Structure formats: C-alpha cells, structure tokens
C-alpha cells in the first residue's frame, strides 16, 4: 500500500466491506461485424439521455489476456446495446514493462475479435501533465497534501502495524501538519486527503450494494516524489476526461473503486461535474480446476487461440460471452443477437471456469457455419507444400463437418495434396491385408470401367463389388479409404473419390493393390 509506484492491491483485501446486498438494477478493424444494430440505436437515442460510454484499458506488458478479452467484449457489447461509445485506453505508464509489441498484440487481438473502438486509442502516459494538474488542483483546494515521510519511516510503520496485527496503511502523519513543518528541500509525495467519517456504498451492477467505512480508506499517493502520477490518479482523471459512464472490469478492482470514488468526489467538490460512474465488477475466470487462470492452465493470449488452437473469432466471442453471463438457455449467440440481448443483469457473481473442450465444441459449430471461401483461405495458410486452392474450396463442404478447429480441418484436407505413392499410417497399414488388396484390385477394375465419374455411379460400382464378394459395404470401403487417403478416417469415401478425380483415385488404388512386402 505504501509503494507509490504500483497499483493498489487487488480484491477487497485492503478494505473491509461493511455490507454487501442485492445487486443494483442491471442495465464487436480485422474480422469486422456489421454495426447496423448499434448504429440504429445510436441514431434513435433521445438527446436528453446521457449516452453510455464504456472503456477497455489494458496495460501493454504482454499479450491480450483471455480475461482482458472478455472484459473488452462485455464493455463493447454494453456500449453497442445502448447505442453508446466504446473507448480504448492503453495504460502505458509503466515505461519499463510497456512495449510496442505488446501494444500491437492488444490492438491486433481486438481487431481480430471484431471489437472496434470509437475514436483514437488514448495513451495514458501522454496525459501525465493533465494528471499532475489535477493533483495540483486538489492541493490548492485543500483536498490533498504533501507528505514528507521517508521510505525508512514507512517501512518501520508497516513493521509496527504488522507486529500489532493492525491493517497495513499509511497513518496520515503529514495530513494536518503545518507547511512550516516541512523539511527544507526534502522530497515529498502528494496524497489525497481522504474522508475519514461515514461510509461509501457502491451499487455495483454485478456485486450488489457494497459498503466500506471511509476510515478504511487511506490517504493514497497521487503524485510520486519525482512528480509522476500514480495509477490511481491517472485512471480517475482519464475516465472523467473521456466521459466514461460505466466502468466494467474484473472484480479484482473492486478495492480500487472506493479509493477512486474518494478522488472523484474530491474533484467534484473542487470544480463540479465529476459524477460517480456506474460500476460493474465481473468475477474472474478460473481454470477447469477452480484455480485462478494462469499459464499452467494452457493458452492465455488471444493470439494463441487463433494461431495455435485454430479457433475462429466468432467462436471465441460466443464462448467468452457465455463465460459468466447468461440469457436463459441460449448457447449459440451470434454478434447481432448478443448486441440485442446483452445486459449486466445476466452476469453471475461466481468465477467462471474456462473449459477448452467446450470452446472447441462451439468452434466446430462455427466452422460448419462458416463461408467455404473464408475457410479455404484460413486452412491454406496452415498447410505446408503446394495447395490447389480450387480443390480445397470444392472439398470444404465435406471437410468442415468433421473438424473442431482449423488445425484439424487442415489435417483432414492433407490427403488431397499428398504425392503418390502415399505413406500409410499404422491404422491404414493394418487394413491392407492380402484379402483387402485383392478387393482393391476388383474395385479398381469396376471404377476404371465407369463412363461417368460422379457420386451415384461410384457408389453403385463399389456396392456391386462388395455384394459380389459377399462383403458389407464398410468392409470394402475401409481398404479403399486407406488406399486413397493413407488413413482410417476421412470424409465420405464416395466424396473422396469424386474430389480426387478419376486418374488420381485409380492411381492411388493401383499403388496399394500389390503388397509392397511381397
């Protein structure tokens, strides 16, 4: 709490809520989704109503975390639902850890998800002068003060409080000191003179009414000894200047909200026009084991779900939407539907468990619904070696019904472009017994005699060979599949024959008619 260079601790560990009651009334460049729903809402909004303004404010110290992506999605949907604005702020004040690659990753991830923002992104570090000016206003008005406590003094205070079992917080030793008591030329920080009497109640749209006694709120630092603004000051000033009306974020920030309200109300007393925003603190995402989501649970960044797992943006959006939010028993919710029905009243209070299997199941649905030309582009980019894009596009209707992700879709398509003679996997090798190779010879003769190479003629020929040999259709189709694809699994065998064409199909069958070990 005494480190002015770091954000305050997460959760409510630093404050003691006096009470929590029923929730308050509840109120997506890249793969771009049509904005017609939120546009007509915006145009139809009454001029007397305060427009909804939400924001997403990531720190560019790494990838776009999956939890951050959900926060951005909830903010985006809430703004679009109400015909308002969704703003983006890059909180880059940690200059040692903020990097351009991280900024690029965040912007790229949001564009891929279709979470377009209104106006230009705001970069927090560039507004440091404005933040400092607000601190000086508070100083001049008596709502803040200079604190000359040394790091050694604060360390000793912490140790005393810890030994006595007391809360660790600044004791206000410079709060009411006379200016003449200040040591000449000594460094100082600027602290907010937080209220000490009464309490603050936040009518959180997710958590309900949460009350904290003002005595629990310490006089936190606004300006460091080098004159740079702290996280708490910068966030409050930026939210005000950007016109943010609704702060929707993880519940690890609930503790921060009470300090932020103290700062907001101090500025409102100084100049007016600083209303409290509406808060909605959303429970965090946990892993399948119930622990807070971390690297040991697997992929964390949005780009990993796109690049490594082969997930479509609409699938990830749908999954994140349903991760902690619900609307009846609806599971498949597209973008337009989500804009239409989203509200904070549907957000639950319990942490959600991220389940990759459920995500991929949902992804399979969106792959089956996706445009074949789009899938062709996505799959071709994942394949090695030459790819006949026309053939891949023609094959897509039968390939996509069996895939849960783009990697699986690419693997399913690989047989189309393999060079003869095909290498057989272990499963295919076990199918190619001497009897099966004899069946392949009969199938080759029957198929070679066909006048028309279409599904109906091919199926009739294969069935005729199977019946003549006293075999079920599957017993004839399995070695045929192995010869054509090198695997035990594939799309429907008649579709495979049509896609490969007469010459390639007959050549692959011929390659496997003779036992290579003989």
Query: Annotated active-site positions, please?
Result: 295
Cross-sheet strand order for the sheet of 85-90: 53-56, 85-90, 122-123
Task: Give the residue carrying structure tokens 């030459």.
Answer: 386
Query: Cα(324)–Cα(148) distance, rounded to whole angstroms?
Result: 45
25-47 burial, b at 16+ Cβ within 10 Å, e below that, comes to eebbeeeebebebbeebbeeeee
Query: Cα(306)–Cα(294) distance, rounded to whole angstroms?
Result: 18
Q: Is the dihedral of CA 208, 213, 214, 218 positive or negative?
A: negative
Query: Cα(350)–Cα(325) distance, rounded to whole angstroms?
Result: 10
Q: Which residues contact 243 (CB under 8 A, 6 or more apart)?
A: 53, 85
Query: Cα(454)–Cα(461) distance, rounded to whole angstroms?
Result: 11
- Two tokens, residue 442: 């009969």
Give the E-state strand segments of 35-130 in sequence order: 53-56, 85-90, 122-123
342-343-346-351 Cα dihedral, nearest 10 degrees: 90
Query: Cα(356)–Cα(324) distance, rounded to whole angstroms?
Result: 15
> In this structure, how many other beta carbons lie within 10 angstroms of the beta carbon of residue 251?
20
Are 247 and 279 in contact by the 8 Å Cβ rule? The answer is yes
Q: Is the dihedral of CA 313, 319, 324, 330 positive or negative?
A: positive
Query: Cα(121)–Cα(359) distance, rounded to whole angstroms?
Result: 30
Query: Cα(111)–Cα(107) distance, rounded to whole angstroms?
Result: 6
Query: Cα(237)–Cα(327) distance, rounded to whole angstroms?
Result: 35
326-329-333-339 Cα dihedral, nearest 10 degrees: -50
- Two tokens, residue 146: 């200079």
Rg (CA), the chain: 31
Query: Cα(137)–Cα(276) distance, rounded to whole angstroms?
Result: 19
Phi first, then psi, for residue 23 (nearest 5°) are -65, 155
Are 30 and 108 in contact by the 8 Å Cβ rule? The answer is yes
User: Which residue, among 2, 3, 7, 507, has the nearest Cα to 255 in the 3D structure?
Assistant: 7
């Amino acid at each position: 709490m005494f480190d002015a260079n770091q954000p305050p601790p997460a959760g409510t560990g630093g404050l003691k809520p006096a009470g929590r009651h029923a929730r308050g009334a509840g109120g997506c460049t890249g793969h771009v989704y049509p904005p017609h729903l939120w546009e007509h809402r915006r145009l139809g909004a009454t001029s007397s109503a305060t427009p909804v303004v939400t924001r997403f404010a990531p720190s560019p110290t790494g990838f776009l975390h999956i939890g951050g992506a959900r926060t951005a999605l909830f903010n985006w949907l809430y703004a679009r639902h109400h015909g308002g604005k969704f703003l983006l702020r890059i909180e880059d004040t940690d200059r040692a850890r903020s990097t351009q690659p991280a900024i690029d990753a965040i912007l790229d991830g949001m564009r891929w998800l279709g979470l377009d923002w209104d106006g230009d992104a705001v970069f927090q570090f560039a507004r440091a002068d404005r933040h400092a000016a607000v601190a000086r206003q508070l100083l001049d008005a008596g709502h803040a003060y200079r604190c000359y406590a040394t790091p050694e003094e604060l360390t000793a205070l912490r140790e005393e409080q810890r030994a006595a079992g007391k809360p660790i917080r600044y004791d206000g030793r410079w709060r009411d000191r006379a200016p003449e008591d200040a040591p000449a030329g000594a460094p100082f920080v600027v602290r907010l003179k937080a209220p000490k009497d009464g309490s603050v109640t936040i009518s959180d749209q997710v958590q309900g009414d949460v009350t904290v006694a003002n005595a629990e709120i310490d006089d936190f630092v606004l300006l460091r000894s080098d004159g740079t603004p702290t996280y708490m000051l910068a966030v409050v000033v930026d939210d005000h200047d950007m016109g943010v009306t609704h702060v929707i974020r993880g519940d690890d920030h609930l503790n921060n909200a009470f300090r932020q309200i103290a700062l907001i109300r101090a500025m409102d007393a100084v100049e007016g026009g600083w209303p409290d925003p509406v808060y909605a603190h959303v429970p965090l995402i946990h892993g399948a084991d119930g622990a807070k989501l971390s690297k040991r649970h697997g992929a964390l960044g949005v780009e990993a779900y796109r690049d490594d797992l082969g997930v479509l943006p609409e699938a990830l959006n749908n999954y994140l939407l349903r991760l902690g939010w619900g609307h009846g028993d609806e599971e498949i919710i597209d973008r337009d539907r989500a804009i239409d029905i989203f509200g904070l009243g549907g957000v639950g209070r319990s942490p959600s468990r991220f389940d990759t299997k459920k995500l991929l199941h949902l992804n399979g649905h969106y792959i089956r619904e996706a445009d074949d030309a789009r899938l062709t582009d996505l799959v071709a980019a994942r394949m090695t070696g030459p790819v006949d894009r026309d053939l891949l596009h023609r094959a897509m209707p039968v390939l996509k019904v069996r895939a849960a992700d783009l990697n699986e879709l690419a693997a399913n398509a690989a047989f189309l472009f393999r060079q003869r003679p095909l290498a057989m996997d272990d499963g295919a090798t076990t199918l190619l017994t001497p009897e099966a190779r004899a069946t392949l010879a009969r199938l080759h003769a029957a198929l070679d005699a066909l006048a028309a190479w279409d599904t109906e003629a091919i199926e009739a020929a294969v069935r005729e060979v199977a019946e003549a040999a006293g075999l079920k259709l599957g017993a004839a189709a399995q070695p045929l599949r192995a010869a054509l694809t090198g695997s035990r699994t594939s799309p429907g065998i008649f579709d495979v024959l049509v896609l490969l064409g007469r010459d390639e199909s007959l050549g692959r069958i011929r390659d496997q008619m003779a036992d290579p070990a003989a």
